A and B are shown apart, each in its own frame.
Chain A
């Protein structure tokens, strides 16, 4: 599938109707989602024929994108039932089979390294400090191949250091920088639209989990 075609399909997905600020629910836009999956598949071959998990899937954009580029099985996880309902509708409307689980990412108990690839747009950790790294540590525990994630460019050094030291990452690489359009979703947003620079990261997990 061509990049433009993927982006176009993702643009038709339903997004949050009432985003929840405590969960840092920002929709993953079609521009970013299509580039994440396109790179994961075409540069690294991490998607087609694989089991892919979408952590904090929200309305399911990354999970849908994974399925469209050829993932054999996609599992979306979110704590919020309303998001999961929208994600299920999105999957059905695209005629895709995606499994969803309602769970707190911190409380996942999955068999280690069972998933091939994790894709995620985690909370940036601005509302609840450290939540981004909790997502990353869990992703690197369940994945055997690679983890793709988005983090604010301003935290680049911190992410690299913490991933390698505390989150079982064997490698941590910034693939590109993207612009994340955060529309005015919440009252505390003063500007109409904020453009945030984010890094697209690719992490590889250590074979043996050193930190639990």
Chain B
């Protein structure tokens, strides 16, 4: 799971109203270089919840993102490179996503988060 995907997910436990962002607990992750696409990053910037991305990046030991960001920063090549790295080049392999309201843990195994709920959670 990449951090781009993390930025889209919310807790789906019944009754939870504030299930975003899921707290990322990363035990194992890998980094893999991919080509930077500046147009795509600009497109994604408007959708990304920046604080959630910066928090998830810190959970995998990447502290190079500023705490706040605005669209004017997209002119900076250095900023784009960091944004690109956090969003697309880090793969969380093992760990968990934790619901911020209920504390429910969704395990991540072999890179795949398991968001299936038990019958009493639906």
Q: Which of A72-86 contact B (CB under 8 A)?
A: 72-73, 75, 79, 84
Q: Mark B58-83, 1 if CB is under 8 A from A, else 0.
A: 00000000000000000000000000
| Interface residue count on the B side (C-beta < 8 Å) | 32
Taking the complex as formed, is A9 at the interface, i.e. its CB lies under 8 A from any CB of chain B? no
Tell me how many residue pairs across A and B have CB atoms closer than 8 Å.
71
B43 touches A101 (CB 8 A): no
Given contacts A49-B39, A73-B88, A102-B116, contact A88 B111 (CB under 8 A): yes
> B interface, by DSSP: helix, strand, loop or mixed?
loop
Which of B9, B44, B122 interacts with A110 by CB under 8 Å?
B9
B37 contact from A49, A88, A102, Cβ within 8 A: A49
- The answer on a CB contact under 8 Å between B4 and A84 is no
Cα(A67)–Cα(B5), bound, Å: 15
Nearest-neighbour CB distance to chain B for A28, whole angstroms, equals 20
A residues near B9, Cβ cutoff 8 Å: 101, 109-110
Chain B neighbourhood of A51, CB < 8 A: 4, 44
| Contact-size category for A | 20 to 34
CB distance from A27 to the nearest CB of B (A): 20
Task: Let me know if A99 is at the binding interface, CB within 8 A.
Answer: yes
Question: Could you tell me the distance between the alpha carbons of A75 and B112 in the complex, rounded to whole angstroms?
Answer: 11
Cβ contacts A to B, 23 pairs, < 8 Å = A49-B37, A51-B4, A73-B4, A73-B5, A84-B112, A97-B2, A97-B34, A99-B4, A99-B5, A99-B111, A100-B112, A101-B115, A102-B112, A102-B115, A103-B12, A103-B115, A103-B116, A104-B117, A107-B122, A110-B9, A110-B10, A111-B7, A114-B8
List 12 extra interface pairs beyond A101-B115, A102-B114, A108-B115, CB under 8 A. Answer: A49-B39, A73-B5, A75-B5, A88-B111, A101-B5, A101-B9, A102-B113, A102-B116, A103-B116, A104-B117, A110-B8, A114-B47
Task: Give the interface of A toward B (CB within 8 A).
Answer: 49, 51, 72-73, 75, 79, 84, 88, 97, 99-104, 107-111, 114-115
